[in-house]
Every structure is written in structure tokens, then in C-alpha cells.
């Protein structure tokens, strides 16, 4: 039976040390340069926040979130006790249960942004992948749609946002809406801006299916849907996921910009509110938000990479 020590050969140890030490060295250099720059940049609100200030502000945001949750729990507990006393006096009493909403915290904004970006990304993927497959299989369809793609692809989210806001306001009219208009505006703006990389890469991947595989499909006389399901999609998965990874990154960037401009709930609104607040802690809180936005973007990309490795039929393929 192979043990752990059996695999720790000198080359393996060297590789492991490099894999651990190099990122740490890079991070230390980055933090040192950041601190030096922060000490030499003075704004109207004080010094630019360094790493220690950002850590302090992150801790403050965590404490604020815990305090808000504790307040809500206390209110529910007082309501429960009050209702129990009322029922003890009169079992037929009509007790009411009120919903309490806490002040929106930094972590609530993170949850809102994540929900919005995933909804927009899923909608965009459901549109982009089928269209990408169709135009990848048909040169005529590609020639017909490609000018539209190339025209709409470079449009900024800031240009889409007013139009999406007006359309949603005109079409989504309800006295008891299931979801808020701000959510729909952000979601559709994200979808419009992030579907193009997936569509283009899917088309390229489908068009690049090896001729041998297409010949096999013709010999077996597979139907169109079977050909797509058994031959085209598995062969095009690497390019499809390349597009999906580009799209999720664009979706995350677009969402933050849209939330800032439209003042829709989310991390973008948090950054803008802190900028408008102008307190001595604002710069540190904005820096916390920036780092969290970047870290979440990294995690989203890693998640897509993990899914790609899972669905890829060629497990020996190098995916990075």
C-alpha cells in the first residue's frame, strides 16, 4: 500500500514548496507595496487605507452584521414571549406575528449581488448556448446573425441600463410583485452584456468539431438532436466553458457598475453609498468591498473551472 511518504520524492517536495511559497512571497510583496503607497497618499478623508485599516474595517462590518441579526432575534423573542402571555390569559386570543427587517448590512449586499449575477448569468447562458450551437452548425445562420452579435457585443452596460429600466417599468406592473423591479433591471442588464462570449465561443467550438466525428454521426444516421447531444456538445465543451468563464467574469463586473449607477441593492450600491457618505471610515470600507468583489470573482471562475472538469468527457485534458 502506497503511503504519503512514498510520494514525497525530492522533486515532489520541491514542487510542493514552490506551490506554497511563491504565492506567499507574491502576496507579501503586494502587501508591502500597498502599505508604502498608502502611507504616501493623503486624501480629503485622510490617508489611503492600508492593509491593517482594511482588516479593521472588515472586522467592523462583521460586527455590524452580527449586531443587526441579534437585534432582529431579540425582537422576535420579545414578540414570542408577548404572544405566549396573551395566549396564556386567553387561549382564543388573536395573536399576530410581525416580520422584522434589519438594516441592510454589507453581507446582505453580497448575498443580493450574488443572487442577481447568478440569475442574469443563467438567463444569458440559456439564450447563448442554443443560439451558439445553431450558428455553429449552420454557416448561413452564422452569416445572418454575426453582424448583430458584433454590433451589440461592444455596447456598454451603462448604455443598456436606461433602456432596460424603462422596459421593465413599462412591462412589469403588479400590485404584489414576486421580485423587485431593481432585481429585474440588474438581472437583464447583466444578461444582455454577458451572453456574447458564451455565444461566440459556443459557435466556434461547435464549428470546430472534428470532421471524423461528423462522419461517424453520418454513418450512424443520427438524428439532428442526437447528433448535437452525442457528438457536438461533448466535443465543444471546452470552448463552451471558455465562453462561460468569460461571461461570468463580465457579468460580475457589469453588475457592480449597474448597481452603482442605478442605485439598485448590492455591492455596487454599498460602494457608492460609502463614497457619498464621506466619513473617515469610508475609504477603508470601499477597499474592503473592492477586495471582496475581486475574491468573489475569483471564486466564481474557480467554480466554473471545477464544473468544466466534472462535465468534460476527456478527463486527461489540461484545464486551467
Per residue in 281-302, pLDDT tens?
A: 889 999 999 999 999 999 999 9
Q: What mean pLDDT do residues 142-168 have? A: 89
Characterize 248-280 residue by residue with b for buried, 16 or more Cβ atoms within 10 angstroms of its Cβ, and e for exposed: bbbbbbbbbbbbbbbebbbbbbbbbbbeeeeee
- Residues 135 and 200: their CA atoms lie apart, in Å, by 9
Q: What mean pLDDT do residues 148-162 have? A: 88
Polymer length in residues for the chain: 320
Q: What is the helix (H) or strand (E) element at residue 144, kind and residue range?
A: helix 139-152
Give the pLDDT confidence score for residue 28 in this predicted structure.
94
Given a cut of 80, whether residue 319 has pLDDT beyond it is no
Q: What is the mean pLDDT of the chain?
A: 88
Say if residues 71 and 305 touch (Cβ distance below 8 Å).
no
Could you tell me the pLDDT band of residue 318, with boundaries at 50, 70 and 90?
A: low
Strand partners, 43: 46
- Residues 263 and 260: their CA atoms lie apart, in Å, by 5
Per residue in 213-239, pLDDT tens?
A: 888 888 888 888 899 988 999 899 989
Could you tell me the pLDDT band of residue 7, with boundaries at 50, 70 and 90?
A: low
The proportion of the chain whose per-residue pLDDT surpasses 90, expressed as a percent, equals 47
Per residue in 42-93, pLDDT tens?
A: 888 788 899 999 999 999 999 999 999 899 899 888 888 988 888 888 888 8
Residue among 164, 77, 83 nearest 120 (CA) = 164
- Residues 124 and 122: their CA atoms lie apart, in Å, by 5
> What three-state secondary structure class fits 115?
helix
Give the pLDDT confidence score for residue 2 in this predicted structure.
47
> What three-state secondary structure class fits 174?
coil
Could you tell me the pLDDT band of residue 6, with boundaries at 50, 70 and 90?
A: low
**Phi-psi region at 112: left, alpha or beta (left = phi > 0; alpha = psi -120 to 50):** alpha
Strand partners, 47: 42
The proportion of the chain whose per-residue pLDDT surpasses 70, expressed as a percent, equals 96
Look-up of cell digits 439598485: 264
Strands 46-47 and 42-43: antiparallel
Per residue in 195-216, pLDDT tens?
A: 999 999 999 999 998 888 888 8
Given a cut of 70, whether residue 149 has pLDDT beyond it is yes
Q: What mean pLDDT do residues 147-174 have? A: 88
Give the pLDDT confidence score for residue 309 in this predicted structure.
85
Residue among 261, 278, 102, 119 nearest 190 (CA) = 119
Amino acid at each position: 500500500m502506497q503511503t504519503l511518504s512514498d510520494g514525497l520524492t525530492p522533486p515532489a517536495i520541491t514542487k510542493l514548496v514552490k506551490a506554497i511559497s511563491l504565492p506567499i512571497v507574491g502576496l507579501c510583496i503586494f502587501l508591502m507595496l500597498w502599505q508604502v503607497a498608502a502611507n504616501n497618499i493623503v486624501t480629503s478623508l485622510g490617508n489611503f487605507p492600508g492593509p491593517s485599516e482594511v482588516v479593521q474595517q472588515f472586522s467592523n462590518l462583521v460586527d455590524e452584521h452580527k449586531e443587526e441579526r441579534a437585534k432582529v432575534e431579540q425582537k422576535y423573542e420579545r414578540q414570542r414571549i408577548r404572544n405566549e402571555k396573551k395566549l396564556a390569559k386567553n387561549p382564543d386570543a388573536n395573536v399576530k406575528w410581525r416580520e422584522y427587517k434589519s438594516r441592510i448590512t454589507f453581507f446582505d449586499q453580497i448575498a443580493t449581488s450574488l443572487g442577481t449575477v447568478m440569475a442574469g448569468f443563467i438567463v444569458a447562458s440559456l439564450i447563448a448556448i442554443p443560439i451558439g450551437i445553431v450558428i455553429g452548425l449552420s454557416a448561413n445562420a452564422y452569416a445572418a446573425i454575426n453582424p448583430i452579435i458584433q454590433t451589440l457585443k461592444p455596447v456598454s452596460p451603462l448604455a443598456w441600463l436606461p433602456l432596460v429600466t424603462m422596459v421593465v417599468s413599462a412591462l412589469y406592473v403588479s400590485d404584489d410583485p414576486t421580485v423587485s423591479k431593481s432585481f429585474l433591471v440588474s438581472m437583464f442588464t447583466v444578461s444582455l452584456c454577458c451572453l456574447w462570449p458564451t455565444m461566440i465561443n459556443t459557435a466556434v467550438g461547435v464549428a470546430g468539431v472534428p470532421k471524423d466525428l461528423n462522419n461517424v454521426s453520418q454513418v450512424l444516421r443520427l438524428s439532428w438532436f442526437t447528433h448535437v447531444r452525442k457528438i457536438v456538445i461533448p466535443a465543444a465543451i471546452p470552448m463552451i466553458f471558455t465562453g462561460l468563464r468569460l461571461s461570468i467574469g463580465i457579468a460580475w463586473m457589469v453588475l457592480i457598475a449597474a448597481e452603482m449607477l442605478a442605485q439598485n441593492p448590492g455591492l455596487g450600491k454599498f460602494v457608492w453609498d460609502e463614497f457619498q457618505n464621506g466619513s473617515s471610515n469610508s475609504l477603508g470600507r470601499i477597499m474592503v468591498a473592492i477586495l471582496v468583489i475581486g475574491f468573489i470573482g475569483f471564486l466564481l471562475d474557480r467554480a466554473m473551472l471545477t464544473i468544466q472538469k466534472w462535465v468534460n468527457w476527456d478527463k486527461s485534458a489540461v484545464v486551467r
